[in-house]
Structure 1
Amino acid sequence: MFLFKVLHDLLTISLFIYNVCYIFPTEISGLKTACRNGWNLINGRCFKYVPSRMTWAKAERNCISMGGNLASVHSSEDYYDIQSLIRRVTHELKETWIGGSDAAEEGNWSWSDGTLMTFTNWCPGEPNNAGRGQHCMQMNHSGEKCWDDYGCTVKQPSVCVSKN
């Protein structure tokens, strides 16, 4: 009888662990292990490419409506993986809005999701605030496919990162 109880308890624990790890989307050490349908898991966060062309502000509002923000990029690995996502969807590397902006204070770039900007991938000579009206960040600029400050009212695709 004791052996039966031990086996029953082990089976119960095993089923619980299976459900937590494989059936329900979970987070381990703050990193996601699954994303909602239509979102892509990249380095523990969920990203979505949005092909609709919008201004930076409208793209940010759109991301917020889906439970996120325009994407923040924290490493070269993040950047290349986000580029791979864009390439998978579009078969090219289109210029695309991400969540960087210096609209609050010229030259002080921050991410719209509130995370710290510890990694940058600016193109040579950027950000340059050409015409004194470039306060939003796009990726995949020029032949180098790097970051550029750009006019926020230009309409282009975007990448969101999900908070949940």
Structure 2
Amino acid sequence: DFMIIPIFIIFDETLSYRFNMSSGCPHGWSYFNHRCFVYVPRSMSWGQAERNCKSMGGHLASVHSNNEYRHIQKLTSDHDYIETWIGGTYEFEEKVWLWSDGSSFHYTHWCPGEPSGGNQNCLQINYTPSKCWDDLWCDLRRPSVCAKKKSTLLG
């Protein structure tokens, strides 16, 4: 029993270093509505950005409300609201927009006249001064926002 206490203390310090204990988000990620978000400044294609998010345990961010969109935009505000990838992608065969995390695509914030199609199958935010959504060619390079479920102490 005596040896358990020091091990527990080391374990506890490791967790508090790696996670914001109140939110369950890793260091550097922000908590909002049961999810953790992070801005990735490195410019990548949409596919590279999604793979990068998956390597961190998440996906490119999906958006389900105006409040969530405002939170995601806030993450880009230190970078002059640059055009940024999130997880929307157009599925040709079903002719629908989908989120890369599999969640339902019901909230939208498209710019007027968007999505415009023409093989522009990936979703960028902060387009035009109105900071709305635009469909874009997936191989263009943009920074991105990743999202994942908040962590619990056990995983």
Question: Which residue is 1:151 aligned to?
Answer: 137
Superposition RMSD in Å: 2.0
Aligned match of 1:82 in 72, 75, 81? 72
TM-score by length of 1: 0.75
Structure 2 stretches lacking a partner, 5+ long: 1-11
1:33 Cα deviation after fit: 2.8
| Partner SS, residue 121 of structure 2 | strand
Distance 1:25 1:39, change over 3 A: closer
Runs ≥4 residues deviating over 2 A: 23-26, 103-107
Whether the 8 Å contact between 1:138 and 1:148 is mirrored in structure 2 is: yes
Structure 1 stretches lacking a partner, 5+ long: 1-18, 27-31
Greater relative contact order (Cα 8 A, min sep 6): structure 1 or 2? 2
1:38 Cα deviation after fit: 1.5
The reply to whether residue 137 of structure 1 matches residue 123 of structure 2 is: yes
1:143 Cα deviation after fit: 1.3
Aligned match of 1:114 in 88, 102, 112? 102
The reply to whether residue 94 of structure 1 matches residue 82 of structure 2 is: yes
User: For 1:105 and 1:64, how far apart are their aligned partners in 2?
Assistant: 24
Distance 1:141 1:66, change over 3 A: same
Letter matched to residue 88 of structure 2: G
Question: Which residue is 2:41 aligned to?
Answer: 51
Distance 1:106 1:96, change over 3 A: farther
TM-score by length of 2: 0.80
User: For 1:25 and 1:143, how far apart are their aligned partners in 2?
Assistant: 34
1:25 Cα deviation after fit: 6.5
Distance 1:105 1:144, change over 3 A: farther
1:109 Cα deviation after fit: 0.2
Whether the 8 Å contact between 1:103 and 1:136 is mirrored in structure 2 is: no
1:125 Cα deviation after fit: 0.5
Aligned match of 1:66 in 56, 73, 92? 56
1:43 Cα deviation after fit: 2.2
User: For 2:54 and 2:100, how far apart are their aligned partners in 1?
Assistant: 10
User: For 1:82 and 1:149, how far apart are their aligned partners in 2?
Assistant: 17
User: For 1:121 and 1:83, how far apart are their aligned partners in 2?
Assistant: 12
